[in-house]
Amino acid sequence: MKFTKMHGCGNDYIYVDGAKEIIPQEKKPDVVKKLSDRHFGIGGDGVIFINPSTEADFEMEMYNMDGSRAEMCGNGIRCVAKFVYDKGLTDQTHISIVSAGKVKYLDLTTEGGKVSTVKVNMGAPILRAADIPVITDREEEPVVGGDIEVDGKIYKMTCVSMGNPHAVVFMDDVEKLPIETIGPLFENHERFPKRTNTEFVKVIDKEHVEMRVWERGTGETLACGTGACATVVACILNGLTNDTVTVKLLGGSLRIQWDRQENLVYMTGPATTVFEGEIEI
């Protein structure tokens, strides 16, 4: 099977042209786990199949490294855009990509005939608790600065879905956070029926924040595009930042804007090809 290893701010996935590499659907979770293994496989935060689509220009079929399906990945969708343009599957610099039934629109910036950065219209943030989903006494309302008890400690969280669930927790220091311990406890907390991604965030000023993320089904990653979007929405809801913010991640920075008049979130960031190859599956 031919593959391309790509990353957005260090959030790395294995990309496969689903039109050429046909894998039975029931075998994909096991294939994904094998390919994602950083010791015995290619290594990555998961696998993304790029498929033909009748709903958009292309489909992104995304899997976490544990073989579970994921609805959306902001860093991943930028790399899909680079993949299809750089490989000549499209010559357009404004394209649409569908993932889990939701269509996103992307603007591509090119240098030397290759995509360098991508701006993604990530759509409207979902704030209604029942739609994220997060269990609360007021399922029709947003969870903004709500209490959650984890390992005997009370944290304040703001919950946002960008097509996948996020719990954003603000703190004074994220560098020394024992994320390997606390991350799984948030991910698998009983209040999240579909598990959750968790962002631990330090606000630097009105236009800059620092973020670490524990991704559902993967663990800590160097970046999370949907998490950065959810973080900025949470910052604004809590009155902590302006509407356009640079989010500093372990693997780089993303520029996030919440246009509240249109109620749309825009994400701009890089997409990078690491290497290509073939592997027996």
Which has the closest alpha carbon to 226: 243, 211, 241, 207? 211
User: What is d(CA 234, CA 215) in angstroms, rounded to the nearest whole number?
Assistant: 17
Whether the bond between 133 and the residue before it is cis, its omega within 30 degrees of 0, is yes
224 noted as active-site residue? yes
3-state secondary structure of 2: strand
Of 79, 224, 229, 235, the active-site residue reads: 224
159 among known catalytic residues: no
Residue among 73, 79, 159, 229 flagged as catalytic: 73
Strand, coil or helix: 4: strand
* Contacts for 33 with CB less than 8 Å, ≥ 6 apart: 65, 66, 67
d(C-alpha 157, C-alpha 142), whole Å: 11
Beta strands in the chain (DSSP E): 2-8, 11-17, 46-51, 58-64, 69-70, 94-99, 102-111, 114-123, 146-150, 153-161, 165-170, 197-205, 208-215, 219-221, 244-249, 252-259, 264-270, 272-278
Residues β-bridged to residue 99 = 102
Cβ distance 218 to 66 under 8 Å? yes
Residue 26 burial by CB count (10 A; 0-12/13-18/19+): exposed, middle or buried? exposed
Report the greatest alpha carbon distance in the chain.
Answer: 54
Other residues' Cβ atoms within 10 Å of the Cβ of residue 232: 31
Give the residue numbers marked as catalytic. 73, 224
